[in-house]
Structure 1
């Protein structure tokens, strides 16, 4: 019996809706790294793993639309309510059984992320699957059942903001990954330089 989730049953969502405050307020997804914007690097790694890709952004929407992606804004884009607001926008637009999120500032995300999270979710009868690397949970990379949209909406309405507080309310599978660089996110210009020095082209 196969425990795989079909690629076509997963919608990918790139999260590019944050303030980028530690990056000086710039749009992190559009910051160049190795010749391309960070979010485009994420797109290239995520696209083969999913049936379709959406992008959540609250700024520079037309730039992202120019990449040929549907762009979703948060319900209250001026509030920058955090990743869960992006999750909800993705879930509300998702027409597949599953949604897989990835931040726009992690250009080295695993190329087998969807497959491994999907297998763990199916094997454990969970509703959510999260990766762990270097002993740390990576909750912004989240595979979830699309049917959780109303539940997440209610959680946000109640004032909830932390991903871990929401996922803890549901059966969750945890998958260990060896490559900690795969989940590094870029918060400052120094992070960009450090990642470039640490990782071979």
Structure 2
């Protein structure tokens, strides 16, 4: 079984937020605190270190994580570049990747990923209908292979995963937890939903 000391957490917050009018999604206030803080709470105490991958407002992110890392290549090249940057920055054998705009992720997400990895190199959340490729557990020794794929022009996460031994992690009991917020309306709707729900134990 993979132990806490073998895991680094990575929150992907390096996008351009185009569907939110170019705003930095990780710093958007949701239920009273930045979105990235809700996500960090899902990782704290379950990984050895929490990193934030950001390409803007680095000073604002620095108090919110152990380390803030920018993409190793400029130009907002997408989440696969953020994952690569995290794999390079991690000092542990495994990297837990989550997006900054999914504030309702399960509190036991890390345990679920670890329990499902088996002999695979990558474990990806699957809600019963679709995969969530930016919610994953990845072996950090794959960094060099991902670097080669990026150099060859690859930017699709699922195509890179398919090159390796990967598995689905069944999270079909809580598919709503993987909703990500791309618009102001989606943010307001989820805030209202969470306010109406009874707090989970």
Q: So what's the TM-score if we normalise by structure 2?
A: 0.93
Query: For residue 37 of structure 1, what is the aligned residue in structure 2?
Result: 34
- Identify unmatched segments of 5+ residues in structure 2: none
Superposed displacement of residue 51, structure 1: 1.3
Query: For residue 126 of structure 1, what is the aligned residue in structure 2?
Result: 120
1:21 to 18, 21, 28: 18
Structure 1 residues 83 and 147, CA gap change in structure 2 (3 angstroms): same
Moved more, 170-179 or 144-153: 170-179
- Identify unmatched segments of 5+ residues in structure 1: none
The structure 1 segments of at least 4 consecutive aligned residues displaced by more than 3 Å after TM superposition are none
Give the 3-state SS of the residue equivalent to 1:138 in structure 2. strand
Q: Is the 8 Å Cα contact of residues 50 and 65 (structure 2) preserved in structure 1?
A: no
**CA distance, structure 1, for counterparts of residue 140 and residue 13 of structure 2:** 20
Query: For residue 163 of structure 2, what is the aligned residue in structure 1?
Result: 169
Aligned residue pairs total: 195
Structure 1 residues 11 and 68, CA gap change in structure 2 (3 angstroms): closer
Query: For residue 110 of structure 2, what is the aligned residue in structure 1?
Result: 114
Matches within 5 A, 1:171-186: 171-177=165-171, 178-186=173-181
**CA distance, structure 1, for counterparts of residue 169 and residue 183 of structure 2:** 28
Superposed displacement of residue 99, structure 1: 0.3
Give the 3-state SS of the residue equivalent to 1:64 in structure 2. helix
**CA distance, structure 1, for counterparts of residue 65 and residue 157 of structure 2:** 28
Q: So what's the TM-score if we normalise by structure 1?
A: 0.93
Superposed displacement of residue 198, structure 1: 2.6
Q: Is the 8 Å Cα contact of residues 5 and 115 (structure 1) preserved in structure 2?
A: no
Query: For residue 91 of structure 1, what is the aligned residue in structure 2?
Result: 87
1:192 to 187, 192, 201: 187
RMSD: 1.1
**CA distance, structure 2, for counterparts of residue 84 and residue 61 of structure 1:** 19
Superposed displacement of residue 197, structure 1: 2.6
Q: Is the 8 Å Cα contact of residues 49 and 66 (structure 2) preserved in structure 1?
A: no
Give the 3-state SS of the residue equivalent to 1:22 in structure 2. helix
**CA distance, structure 2, for counterparts of residue 151 and residue 171 of structure 1:** 13
**CA distance, structure 2, for counterparts of residue 49 and residue 138 of structure 1:** 20
**CA distance, structure 2, for counterparts of residue 24 and residue 115 of structure 1:** 35
2:135 to 128, 141, 149: 141
Superposed displacement of residue 44, structure 1: 1.2
**CA distance, structure 1, for counterparts of residue 72 and residue 65 of structure 2:** 22
